Amino acid sequence: MDKRQIGSLSVSPIGLGCMSMSHGYGPSDEKTSIQLLNEALDVGYDFLDTATMYGGGKNEELLAKALKTRRHEYVLASKCALFSKDGKPTIDGRPETIKAQCEASLQRLNTDVIDLYYLHRLDPKVPIEESVGALSQLVSEGKIREIGLSEVSADSLRRASVIHPIAAVQSEYSLWTRLPELKMLAACEALGSTFVPFSPLGRQFFTGKAQEADQLTQGDIRTSNARPRFEADAFAYNRKLLEPLREVAQEFNCSLAQLALAWIIALPNRAGKQTLVPIPGTKHIEYMRENIAAANVHLPLEVAEYVSGLIDDDKVVGARYNEAQMKVMDSERDRD
């Protein structure tokens, strides 16, 4: 399997988002998650993504428990600054908070170093230079190897890069969420930052197995902050957009999910290189295996461009987040 670079780190072209095993998508089973994580390494994943926020640290503990003898086999990414306080998401990007959260994550992960450590969300009360300055100190101390940013604007990335090289930017990107195409993908290319798409399957939408919000279990983020596209009327409309994608998937003898992932990893930058590293998340072993197999689906550029035109933000009904959630995002909000 070809590797892709995130700063000094070499990773599989598709990583594994671990959030859903502890957070955001209803109940999960620890025994199954431990089996999934081990089988993921066996079938080719070597880039695992977690965060302080996921399950209030429980997700980090899960990785440490499941893979305690296999730490050398994967690149570990975690995140700071976003956490739950009194049951509510809280953003604190002060240097002292970042350093304290890093120490706590190192303990939960049972590791001496985190390979890639993201600022999970930009704190509007703290200049990004201060937050990245704290991360830079953690690099100097050998506690983290590379610095990442999540859901930031291209301007914030440029400001951060003055303080320290930013190895990765993680933001939502999929066939129906194309916001990074406005400015971020070009900014990452110019600054040497790898773009890491999360929710590349549109929160299960591009598997063809998703349900509308009212049919989902309590605790699923698609019933709350990510609800707009899963509301009954919006969902009924959006599902129709999958039909031409099914035809392409059938032509390439792959699943809808594999097509959506193959589209991302096939996209070239302006230099003609394929650099994106999507991190689809799942708590189901069969889906984990299905997703990594997308690396074997090779879409010609003309097919990727055709797929790009079948669905995008302008064709979809509903925003990716509700209004309250969008207010805490630093990423570009307008299609200008």
pLDDT digits (tens, 9 = 90+) for 272-319: 999 999 999 999 999 999 999 999 999 999 999 999 999 999 999 998
46 is a domain residue: yes
| Domains identified in the chain, total number | 1
Contact (Cβ atoms closer than 8 angstroms) between residue 159 and residue 126: no
The three state secondary structure string of 291-307 is HHHHHHCCCCHHHHHHH
Q: Which of 154, 170, 231 is nearest to 19 (CA)?
A: 170
CATH code, 291 = 3.20.20.100
Enzyme catalytic residues: 54
Query: For residue 263, what pLDDT is reported?
Result: 98
Q: Please tell me the pTM assigned to this model.
A: 0.95
Query: For residue 329, what pLDDT is reported?
Result: 76
216 is a domain residue: yes
pLDDT per position as a tens digit, 215-259: 887 778 887 778 989 999 999 999 999 999 999 999 999 999 999
3 state SS of 274: strand
219 is a domain residue: yes
Q: Return d(Cα 275, Cα 189) in angstroms, integer.
A: 9
Q: Return d(Cα 258, Cα 279) in angstroms, integer.
A: 13
334 is a domain residue: no
Q: Which of 43, 42, 82 is nearest to 59 (CA)?
A: 82
221 is a domain residue: yes
Give the structural domain span for 256: 4-326
Query: For residue 74, what pLDDT is reported?
Result: 98
Query: For residue 114, what pLDDT is reported?
Result: 98
Q: Which of 323, 313, 311, 319 is nearest to 229 (CA)?
A: 319
309 is a domain residue: yes
Phi, psi torsion values for 325, nearest 5 degrees? -70, -40
Query: For residue 225, what pLDDT is reported?
Result: 78
332 is a domain residue: no
Query: For residue 118, what pLDDT is reported?
Result: 98
Query: For residue 335, what pLDDT is reported?
Result: 43
Phi, psi torsion values for 330, nearest 5 degrees? -95, -20
Q: How many CB atoms within 10 Å of residue 314?
A: 8
Query: For residue 333, what pLDDT is reported?
Result: 62
* Residues of the chain below pLDDT 70: 333-336
247 is a domain residue: yes
